[in-house]
Structure 1
Amino acid sequence: MLKNGPIALAFNFLVVVFVLAPLVIVCLVAFTPETTLSVPTTSFSLRWFEAVFQHGDFMQAFKNSLWLAAISATISVVLGVPAALAIARHSFPGRDALNALFLSPLMIPHLVLGVALLRFFALIGSAGSFGWLVFAHVVVITPYVLRLVLGALIGFDRSIEHAALSLGASRTTVFFQVTLPLIIPGVSGGWLLAFINSFDELTMSVFITAPSTVTLPVRMYMYATESIDPMMAAVSALVIALTAVTMFLLDRIYGLDRVLVGSK
């Protein structure tokens, strides 16, 4: 064990470097004063960040993605928590089928989902609607919420709930005052994972967005097909910063160790 310690440590270090190196390079390129994708060597500039904020299409796409991810993740939590409680605590006909139904979007390529949903929305005359775009994202991200909430419910001591019920508390009060606070790491972790996946979704969204509902990943894809300049790196750096801030807030409020333990 001791002999393999330095080798394991070096391997883990190389894996971390391999994962983080592209992100670091992208963030460095975002500060280049040049008009090409190059790492700044002599000076740093904020010109490409200013260009992003002055680009109306990018700002609107960012707002669309932010609202879409927040609404979709919240709806996924509203659907995923009751489903996880039913699957984890009750035995009823069709329980396995219900679990498979909720998890099935993980097994279907997003390209296939995008084409199928595009055809479905066209048949009902709702192509390009923001509401149906939310529906599509909820379908894709709900499995993440379900899995993390199920993980939080494993090993849950229900004697606390029974004690609260015996003292006269209603089932609604028990859920909001006892059950939910105890599984909140899994719920918050599921919401965060759902938010990030919705915000980052491209393959499916590119088929079902309209000019008024274009998301940030779709806008970046469209821009990259027309030109390649450091503004793409600036947008990516802002997204990385947003994700890092979200993770930091989650750690400060709930603790990432609790979220990760609840997801196992």
Structure 2
Amino acid sequence: MTRNGPVALAFHALVVAFMLAPLVIVCLVAFTPGDTLSLPTTGFSLRWFRAIFVHPDFVQSFWNSLRLAALAATISVAVAVPAGLAVARHDFPGRDFLNALFLSPLIVPHLVLGVALLRLFALIGATGSFPWLVLAHVLVVTPYALRLVIAAVVGFDRSAEQAALSLGASEATVFRRITLPMILPGITGGWLLAFINSFDELTMSIFVTSPATVTLPVRMYMYATESIDPMMAAISALMVALTAVAMLLLDRVYGLDKILVGHN
């Protein structure tokens, strides 16, 4: 170990602690039996977790967010797979422009996107429509799916594809039997990342949701403007737990190291 080893280890430990501290505090506050956000607490209670289920608005908003995130993630992956294959494997006029176009939502503030989409939906008479809300989320989360798909495509050996083609397999068969299974970890990781970002999206959703399509983050924001109590911490703790479980399952099935580096 070098002289800088302990210093570097301590620095990384401090960075990780700084990032995790807010999540840990929120999860601890969620179990408080009191009526206010306070830490340390006088004890542990499931009071505020039970309170979530007696608010039908939160339950409905959860299902809205779940359905919205699942649809948006699935559509984004359906777009990202052919786009990723085209960008990663072919050199054609406008390739760089196409790649930049797909990734542009990452650099545009969601506040700007929300205002622009609100105006667009008002002009075409689609304000409050759930399908258009799904498309708005697809616009935001597609770049996350695309980056992981591109990483998966770039990272695998094409010799199996070439061997199958030389033996007479059609391009469709090669894609279905070889290419798709080999890039599946990247596709799955892209879907999950898109799902999480869609489920957590707040800034843009405030502008394009309607009373019938309010998502959970928007509902939480609306509730927090009227009352701040530990129920918000309980909902946040459940969202953290769901995300952690999803990442754990993904790691068990595919391995996060394979997904992140794009190798199989």
**TM over 0.5: same fold?**
yes
Identity of aligned residues (%): 75
Letter paired with 2:175:
F
**Residue 69 (structure 1) shift:** 0.5
Contact 1:58 1:219 in 2 (8 A): yes
Aligned to 1:60: 60
**Residue 41 (structure 1) shift:** 3.6
> Which whole-Å CA distance do the structure 2 matches of 1:156 and 1:34 have between them?
54
Aligned to 2:44: 44
Aligned to 1:130: 130
> Which whole-Å CA distance do the structure 2 matches of 1:159 and 1:21 have between them?
46
**Residue 84 (structure 1) shift:** 0.6
Letter paired with 2:185:
P
Aligned to 2:220: 220
Contact 2:111 2:204 in 1 (8 A): yes
Give the 5 Å matches for 1:185-224. Answer: 185-224=185-224
Does residue 247 (structure 1) correspond to residue 251 (structure 2)? The answer is: no
**Residue 101 (structure 1) shift:** 1.1
> Which whole-Å CA distance do the structure 1 matches of 2:239 and 2:30 have between them?
12
Letter paired with 1:5:
G
Does residue 256 (structure 1) correspond to residue 256 (structure 2)? The answer is: yes
> Which whole-Å CA distance do the structure 2 matches of 1:100 and 1:4 have between them?
39
Aligned to 1:108: 108
**Residue 40 (structure 1) shift:** 5.1
Contact 1:31 1:40 in 2 (8 A): no
Aligned to 2:91: 91
Letter paired with 2:178:
V
Question: Size of the alignment, in residue pairs?
Answer: 263
> Which whole-Å CA distance do the structure 2 matches of 1:27 and 1:190 have between them?
27
> Which whole-Å CA distance do the structure 1 matches of 2:92 and 2:10 have between them?
50
Does residue 237 (structure 1) correspond to residue 237 (structure 2)? The answer is: yes
Aligned to 1:180: 180
Aligned to 2:32: 32
Does residue 13 (structure 1) correspond to residue 41 (structure 2)? The answer is: no
**Segments ≥4 residues shifted beyond 6 Å:** none
Contact 1:165 1:171 in 2 (8 A): yes
**Residue 167 (structure 1) shift:** 2.0
**Residue 96 (structure 1) shift:** 1.4
Root-mean-square deviation (Å) = 1.2
Letter paired with 2:21:
A
Contact 1:87 1:99 in 2 (8 A): yes
Deviations 1:107-131 (A, max 9, x none): 1110000000000000000101000
Letter paired with 2:255:
G
Contact 2:51 2:231 in 1 (8 A): yes
Where 1:54 maps in the other structure, the secondary structure is: coil
Contact 2:32 2:42 in 1 (8 A): no
Deviations 1:206-244 (A, max 9, x none): 000000000011000000000000000000000001100
Deviations 1:174-196 (A, max 9, x none): 11211111111211111111111
Contact 2:156 2:262 in 1 (8 A): no
> Which whole-Å CA distance do the structure 2 matches of 1:46 and 1:155 have between them?
46
* Cα distance change of structure 1 residues 45 and 160 upon mapping to structure 2, 3 Å threshold: same
> Which whole-Å CA distance do the structure 2 matches of 1:260 and 1:113 have between them?
28
Letter paired with 1:129:
S
> Which whole-Å CA distance do the structure 2 matches of 1:68 and 1:139 have between them?
13
User: Please, what TM-score do these two structures have when normalized by structure 1?
Assistant: 0.97
Q: Which runs of 5+ in 2 are unaligned?
A: none
Contact 1:33 1:40 in 2 (8 A): no
> Which whole-Å CA distance do the structure 2 matches of 1:155 and 1:144 have between them?
17
Letter paired with 1:61:
S
Letter paired with 1:198:
S
**Residue 162 (structure 1) shift:** 1.3
User: Please, what TM-score do these two structures have when normalized by structure 2?
Assistant: 0.97
> Which whole-Å CA distance do the structure 2 matches of 1:97 and 1:188 have between them?
26
